[in-house]
Amino acid sequence: MKEGIHPGNYRMVVFQDMSNGHTFLTKSTASSKENIKWEDGNEYPLIKLEISNTSHPFYTGKMKLVDTAGRVDKFMNRYKSHLDKKK
């Protein structure tokens, strides 16, 4: 590895998967404006994730739609008549 290119400000951070509520504590340099009280009683910065290994279809083996902006609903409404004809 090259010297001097990696950040040196690693600290303990809590990551939270917003799709299933799973949280885990690890070292990171990611910045955050929110804090959370962890199981050990200390307060750590909180980084919110849309998807992690506990909710990703590759790791869980289950197909799941992740919709953060209502795109799936918009698609279903737009093509509802077409989908009804197929049934």
Residue 8 has a pLDDT of 85
Please compute Rg for the chain using Cα positions. 19
Residue 73 has a pLDDT of 74
pTM: 0.62
Question: How many Å apart are CA 44 and CA 34, to the nearest integer?
Answer: 9
Question: How many Å apart are CA 57 and CA 74, to the nearest integer?
Answer: 22
Question: How many Å apart are CA 65 and CA 68, to the nearest integer?
Answer: 10
Question: How many Å apart are CA 72 and CA 60, to the nearest integer?
Answer: 21
Question: How many Å apart are CA 3 and CA 42, to the nearest integer?
Answer: 33
Residue 68 has a pLDDT of 60
pLDDT 10s digits, 9-51: 899 999 998 888 889 999 999 999 999 999 999 999 999 988 8
Bridge partners for 26 per DSSP: 13
